[in-house]
Amino acid sequence: MLRSLRVRASRGAIAALAALAAAAIGAAYGSAAPARPSTTVTVSTTTVGPPVPVGFVGMSMEYRGLEIYLGHNAHALDQAFVQLLRNLSPAGGAVVRIGGDSSDWSWWPVPGMTAPGGVKYSFGPIWSSVARALVSELHARLILGLNFEADSSKIAAYEAAQLLKYVGSNYIEAFELGNEPELYASFPWYSVGGRKVPGRAPGYDVQDYLADFAKIAGALPHAAPLAGPSSGSANWLSYLGTFASRESNLNLLTVHAYPTKHCGNVDITPDDLFQTASLQGLAGQIGGWDQVAAAHHLPLRVDEMNSVSCGGERGLSNSFAPALWAVEMLPQLVREGVTGVNFHTIPKSINAILNATQTSAGWRVSAQPEYMGLMAFAQAAPAGARLLKVSAPTVTGLDEWAARAANGAIHVVIVNSSSTAQTVGVSIAGVRAGVGASVTRLLAPSLTATSGVTLDGQALSPVTGALSGNPVASTVSASNGSYDVFAPAASATIVTIDS
């Protein structure tokens, strides 16, 4: 929890304590910040963009992943994993996306029909009871993938009908037809006798997809709300307006976005995540898609995102760098008007943002550092918060943003992705003189660290899924109308001022 404490000591005593605390933190993380601010961040009362939507940050998983994470018993869910999801949307209203590649690799068995060649996983009433129990407990809703690569109206319609029956229409945000159809002709869906069979014939293009979508969507139950195109191709998404105008049953436009691509022998470094193309460039591209959605009176959700595509990259995907990247990227997507973002997790893989294991002593969960970045954002920008206009000189490795929560508290976030500690002056318009600020930090030993990550001095409990340990109480007072804040290397510092 973010906390704000009143400061009653003298300014001189507080300044001395703050200096000692900064020195202690600097020593702990192998760097010392300048005694005086090297830059100043000015936060105004002007809001930027819409309020943070309810359920803005969510998770995305594969069909098989649901029972790996939660078990097979709807009456005995893995409560530690439930808590991991609740941490990102503590007020409820989470949106959980289930699909990904497994949308096209799974099916609900159709009576009298043989499973298509590409199907590797079957689900049914037991799976649905677990999904229903999860969203009922979280007061959440689901985006559910339907098999589209099989090119069968019968399969997709049967899946939708059964999911509506067993999960319940009140828990389903939308059905998403397939996953990244731009890849159907390029990648094998299954193999026969050593021969690789793609999901669609060579040359499959957007026009073919639009025709397929209309055919299969027309066969679904009338109560089935639709989402799409579930694509990450800029070329295909240039037809987003055409897609939106042709499909009258669409409730939601969904796109995929990754800042870096580990396809082939491309090596990616942490610095690549903090380049303009991976932050402002990607946010601007998504913002363009959101403008198209708005023109058709539809919400847009990035329902699959992570730091590295094509299966991720070991040593980077599971490092602290994606955590800081997420803290920088998410407010930019709020400003662009995006409805929400789902981070994709695949258990026991490089992209396993979350993992869960059932032991004789009960469930145990773990999370990659990136998850802690999502938690930090959820704390600094809760549902209903408004982003505030921030101005600051450009300093390499520093990024700043601010939000005013619905309760009036102001959170200023300083992301330092560099290897050098900084002292940053924070000036906040409208704050009464003498009001103290609380300081919490998202910390790791380094940008490449894969463990040792803490938020407010706390780590995730593998037993409960909540933060555990003693919170680090830190306060700072204003001097000449500005707060001097220590920003360690490889950290996100959250400064909170109560109203």
Q: Is the pTM of this model over 0.85?
A: yes
Residue type (1 letter), 369:
P
User: What is the structure's pLDDT at 11?
Assistant: 35
* pLDDT tens per residue across span 313-323: 999 999 999 99
pLDDT above 50 for 19: no
Q: Copy the structure tokens of residue 292.
A: 């198209």
- CA–CA gap between residue 416 and residue 396 (Å, rounded): 9
> Averaged over 348-367, what is the pLDDT?
96
Residue found under tokens 């910390």? 443
User: What is the structure's pLDDT at 456?
Assistant: 96
Which CATH number among 2.60.40.1180, 3.40.50.300, 1.10.10.10, 3.40.109.10 corresponds to the domain 11-50+385-497? 2.60.40.1180
Give the rounded percent of residues in the chain with a pLDDT score beyond 70.
93
Higher pLDDT, 387 or 17: 387
Q: How confident is residue 31, by pLDDT bands cut at 50, 70 and 90?
A: low
The per-residue pLDDT of the chain, averaged, comes to: 92
pLDDT above 60 for 4: no
Q: Is the peptide bond before 111 cis (omega within 30 degrees of 0)?
A: no
Q: How confident is residue 264, by pLDDT bands cut at 50, 70 and 90?
A: low
pLDDT above 80 for 24: no
pLDDT above 80 for 291: yes
User: What is the structure's pLDDT at 349?
Assistant: 93
pLDDT above 50 for 80: yes
- CA–CA gap between residue 391 and residue 86 (Å, rounded): 33
Higher pLDDT, 131 or 3: 131
Q: Of the ranges 35-44, 144-153, 418-427, which one carries the lowest mean pLDDT score?
A: 35-44
User: What is the structure's pLDDT at 32?
Assistant: 67
pLDDT above 50 for 373: yes
User: Taking a C-beta distance cutoff of 8 angstroms, is the pair 172, 225 a contact?
Assistant: yes
pLDDT above 50 for 379: yes
* pLDDT tens per residue across span 187-218: 999 999 999 999 999 999 999 999 999 999 99
SS3 call for 413: strand
Query: What number of CA atoms fall less than 13 Å from residue 307's CA on the CB side?
Result: 35
42 C-beta neighbours (distance < 10 Å), count = 16
CATH of domain 57-380: 3.20.20.80
- CA–CA gap between residue 190 and residue 184 (Å, rounded): 11
- CA–CA gap between residue 257 and residue 306 (Å, rounded): 7
Q: How confident is residue 265, by pLDDT bands cut at 50, 70 and 90?
A: low
Give the rounded percent of residues in the chain with a pLDDT score beyond 90.
86
User: Taking a C-beta distance cutoff of 8 angstroms, is the pair 213, 247 a contact?
Assistant: yes
* pLDDT tens per residue across span 117-146: 999 999 999 999 999 999 999 999 999 999
- CA–CA gap between residue 270 and residue 417 (Å, rounded): 9
User: What is the structure's pLDDT at 481?
Assistant: 79
User: What is the structure's pLDDT at 431?
Assistant: 85
Domain assignments of the chain as residue spans, ordered by start: 11-50+385-497, 57-380
- CA–CA gap between residue 136 and residue 114 (Å, rounded): 33
> Averaged over 361-370, what is the pLDDT?
97
Q: Copy the structure tokens of residue 99.
A: 């699909």
User: What is the structure's pLDDT at 257?
Assistant: 97
- CA–CA gap between residue 394 and residue 38 (Å, rounded): 11
* pLDDT tens per residue across span 227-245: 999 999 999 999 999 999 9
Q: How confident is residue 18, by pLDDT bands cut at 50, 70 and 90?
A: very low
